[in-house]
């Protein structure tokens, strides 16, 4: 009999459900929430209400597209945290209710573990997957971490951001440039047409493998602002060069610590994950770095970089195989490290 896992992701503003059978992805449905666009950021209360509307049709579609029925499920994996509490509560409560109805276990998944294990999401049995140990650069809207992955359920954080995450650096700088939220993809597009050497922004001097992006943000602001007012003309004329220089600085900061971590650990495999790993510059820089150092690179398909339930289902699958289940009295958590 196959091990069939339903994954549910509701940590932020995407409601997603996926089905994995014996480690192979059968379906992955994502309902993104447009309601936040006009606010320039995710509004937690609106997010949880939208999750409540979306969760039943999204799970239903995932099961149908997988060509299975509810009775085929072995367990339900859900994101328990970190994320927005109200949003997490929708997925957690739904997973508990459905599992009680079907008399199958629940498996809680750390959202960050999901990103790290997203490289094991395979749509065909011959898909390439990393071998342990590997180093994962996890770069998202809320986290920037260097993680040594020793096994499916055995990870060690080697470095983390002490202030902003890489995605926040993209988004906050984009916001002062007047770009829509989230600004990362807009910077990515603009950067392709700009001169990355035009502007110089501050880089951090932090010991060890930790990251910092707040100094970069401040120096970006100073370049843009005359007094406290953003100079709209200056931004308009220089937006491509600003974006290219910003992106290049973020990449340099990320790669500097990645290189140190590779030297310290001696790993032969490097993976990236999280929303910022969709960035064209980050992807190219990591691929070039790995080629130059004879490392095997794992760059996720763009659809698996942002929040999705496929990664939750696969992380849940590996916990299920190790017999790690979740009690019914467990509650979501907003913040946690790997
Ligand atoms: O992992 P993720 O979906 O969720 C959160 O942690 O919130 O990451 C979202 C982040 C945002 O900061 C967004 O701007 C960034 O990923 N992002 C990008 C790109 N696509 C998404 N940043 C730079 N370039 C991109 N192409």
3-state SS, 16-47, equals EEEEEECCEEEEEEEEECCCCHHHCCCCHHHH
Instruction: For residues 235-257, give the mean pLDDT.
Output: 97
Q: Is the model's pLDDT at 226 over the cut of 80? A: no
Q: Is the model's pLDDT at 337 over the cut of 80? A: no
The answer, yes or no, to whether any atom of ligand 1 lies below 6 A from the CB of 140, is yes
Residue 136 CA to chain centroid, in angstroms?
Answer: 12
Q: What is the rounded CA–CA span in Å between residue 329 and residue 68? A: 29
Predicted confidence band of residue 122 (pLDDT cuts 50, 70, 90): very high
Burial readout 121-132 (b: 16 or more C-beta within 10 A, e: otherwise)? bbeeeeeeebee
Say what the pLDDT of residue 103 is.
98
> Tokens 């992807």 label which residue?
283
Percent of the chain with pLDDT over 70: 98
pLDDT tens digits along 129-171: 999 999 999 998 888 999 999 999 999 999 999 999 999 999 9
Nearest to 98 by CA among 27, 32, 10, 6: 6
pLDDT tens digits along 88-118: 999 999 999 999 999 999 999 999 999 999 9
Nearest to 99 by CA among 283, 271, 302, 327: 327
First CA to last CA distance, the chain: 32
Q: What is the rounded CA–CA span in Å between residue 27 and residue 242? A: 39
Atom index in ligand 1 nearest the CA of residue 165 equals: 12
- For residue 303, the CA-to-ligand 1 centroid distance in Å is 12
- For residue 184, the CA-to-ligand 1 centroid distance in Å is 6
Say what the pLDDT of residue 338 is.
52
Q: Is the model's pLDDT at 35 over the cut of 60? A: yes
pLDDT tens digits along 292-311: 999 999 999 999 998 999 99
CB 183 within 8 A of CB 175: yes
Q: Is the model's pLDDT at 253 over the cut of 70? A: yes
Burial readout 303-329 (b: 16 or more C-beta within 10 A, e: otherwise)? ebbbbbbbbbbbbbbbbbeeeeebeee
Atom index in ligand 1 nearest the CA of residue 168 equals: 12
Cis peptide before 25 (omega within 30 of 0): no
CB 140 within 8 A of CB 134: no
The answer, yes or no, to whether any atom of ligand 1 lies below 6 A from the CB of 9, is no
Sequence-separated (6 or more) residues with CB below 8 Å from residue 56: none
Whether the model clears a pTM of 0.85, i.e. scores above it, the answer is yes
Q: What is the rounded CA–CA span in Å between residue 81 and residue 88? A: 7
Nearest to 212 by CA among 201, 197, 198: 201
Helix axes 214-224, 232-265, angle to 10 degrees: 160
Say what the pLDDT of residue 183 is.
95
For ligand 1, atom 10, name the residue with the nearest CA: 141
Say what the pLDDT of residue 260 is.
98
Instruction: For residues 235-256, give the mean pLDDT.
Output: 97
Please count the helices (runs of H) and the strands (runs of E) in the chain: 9, 12
Percent of the chain with pLDDT over 90: 87
Structure tokens given for 214: 């707040």
Say what the pLDDT of residue 142 is.
84
CB 139 within 8 A of CB 276: yes
CB 167 within 8 A of CB 185: no
Say what the pLDDT of residue 231 is.
79
The answer, yes or no, to whether any atom of ligand 1 lies below 6 A from the CB of 241, is no
Q: What Cα–Cα distance (Å) separates residue 164 from each residue in 109, 160, 235?
A: 24, 10, 23
More confident residue, 223 or 16: 16
């Amino acid at each position: 009999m196959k091990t069939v896992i339903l994954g549910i992701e509701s940590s932020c503003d995407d409601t997603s459900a996926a089905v994995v059978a014996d480690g192979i992805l059968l379906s992955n449905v994502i309902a993104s929430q447009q309601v936040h666009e006009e606010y320039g950021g995710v509004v937690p209360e609106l997010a949880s209400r939208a999750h409540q509307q979306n969760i039943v049709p999204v799970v239903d579609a995932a099961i149908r597209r997988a060509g299975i029925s509810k009775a085929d499920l072995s367990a339900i994996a859900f994101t328990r945290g970190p994320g927005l509490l109200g949003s997490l509560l929708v997925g957690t409560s739904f997973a508990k209710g459905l599992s009680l109805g079907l008399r199958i276990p629940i498996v809680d998944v750390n959202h960050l573990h999901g990103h790290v294990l997203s490289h094991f999401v395979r749509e065909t049995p011959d898909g390439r997957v990393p071998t342990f140990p590997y180093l994962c650069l996890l770069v998202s809207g809320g986290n920037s971490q260097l993680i040594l992955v020793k096994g499916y359920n055995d990870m060690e954080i080697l470095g983390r951001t002490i202030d902003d995450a890489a995605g926040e650096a993209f988004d906050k700088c984009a916001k002062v440039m007047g770009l829509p939220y989230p600004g990362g993809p807009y910077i990515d597009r603009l950067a392709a047409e700009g001169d990355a050497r035009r502007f110089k922004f501050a880089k951090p001097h932090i010991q060890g493998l930790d990251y910092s992006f707040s100094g970069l943000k401040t120096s970006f602001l100073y370049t843009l602002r005359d007094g406290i007012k953003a100079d709209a003309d200056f931004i308009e004329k220089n937006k491509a060069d600003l974006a290219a220089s910003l992106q290049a600085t973020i990449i340099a900061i990320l790669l500097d610590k990645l290189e140190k971590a590779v030297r310290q650990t001696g790993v032969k495999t490097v993976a990236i994950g999280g929303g910022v790993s969709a960035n064209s510059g980050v992807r190219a820089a990591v691929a070039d770095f790995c080629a130059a150092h004879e490392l095997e690179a794992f760059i996720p398909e763009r659809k698996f970089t942002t929040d999705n339930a496929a990664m939750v289902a696969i992380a849940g699958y590996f916990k299920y195989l190790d017999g790690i289940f979740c009690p019914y009295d467990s509650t979501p958590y907003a913040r946690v490290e790997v």
